[in-house]
Amino acid sequence: MEKLKISFIGAGNMATSLIGGLLADGRAPATIHVADVDTERLRELQQRFDINVSDSNSAATEAADILVLAVKPQVLKTVAEEIRTSVQQRQPLVISIAAGVREQSLNRWLGGNLAVVRVMPNTPALIQTGASALYANDRVTTAQRNAAETILRAVGITLWLDDEDKMDAVTALSGSGPAYFFLFMEAMEAAGRDLGLDADTARLLILQTAFGATKMALESSEECATLRERVTSPGGTTEQALNVFEKGELRQLIKEAVSAAAQRSQELAQQLDN
């Protein structure tokens, strides 16, 4: 894995995060190439990481054992068709982090018969605390699966899916999930201010509480339901708040919201394929 050359098409935040994670894990800068149309962005990355940069997608592809497609879903088809000849000649492992683009569509745009791993990361990957789900087609070897996992593990945890259709559920849960928690924290901050706390105090209390609760859940072998029960004293303040949530059918609302996100993921995939 250490000697394999990795090329990124697209120099946005997620690509930058992956590059930073790989270098922090000890990968040699000389083995990493990045291509992007934004030459100023390329200069910044070269100065920051001392990696190879190019404004030519084809040139970066021709240097790749592993090709990471980190462009927006709306332009992925155009990019794929641009580098098709180079990809077919080089036959790299292709890793796509473009949301909503099915493996079959990407493979077709690239000329077919390629080893492709589709990944759904989330924004906490930008601070090396992400959760990424991966799906590999039948042409991906065990060694290539390990290589893909190594790259994504540089920015968080990784999970493999045995069915690409599950990617829509992953998108709805972890892909969109950070925004759900931000909304909940935003609402709790506002409630704290309404009860007389100043904005800074409310924000700090909520952020630390969210962090602490997540850390407890991560470090515990118990289910979240059990942890909730342990901090809910009969007749206490927590029980009163939870009763209001239950009366407002919070569980059903969350279910509907996540289902709506999964449905939209399916719709976007169909649109991008067309």
Q: Could you list the pLDDT tens digit for every one of the 274 residues in the chain?
A: 678 999 999 999 999 999 999 999 999 999 999 999 999 999 999 999 999 999 999 999 999 999 999 999 999 999 999 999 999 999 999 999 998 899 999 999 999 999 999 999 999 999 999 999 999 999 999 999 999 999 999 999 999 999 999 999 999 999 999 999 999 999 999 999 999 999 999 999 999 999 999 999 999 999 999 999 999 999 999 999 999 999 999 999 999 999 999 999 999 888 887 7
Residues 6+ apart with CB under 8 A from 257: 180
Q: Is 154 helix (H, G, I), strand (E, B) or coil?
A: coil
Taking the whole predicted model, whether its pTM rises above 0.85 is answered as yes
Name the residue among 63, 33, 65 with its Cα closest to residue 51: 33
Name the residue among 122, 144, 143, 145 with its Cα closest to residue 132: 122
DSSP class of 4? S
Express the helix, strand and coil content of the chain in percent, nearest 5 each: 60, 15, 25
Buried b / exposed e over 21-48, threshold 16 CB at 10 Å, is bbbeeebeeebbbbbbeeeebbeebeee
Q: Which domains are seen in the chain, by residue range?
A: 6-170 (3.40.50.720), 175-269 (1.10.3730.10)
- Compute how many other C-beta atoms are within 10 angstroms of the C-beta atom of residue 208: 10
Round to whole Å and give the CA distance between 31 and 42. Answer: 16
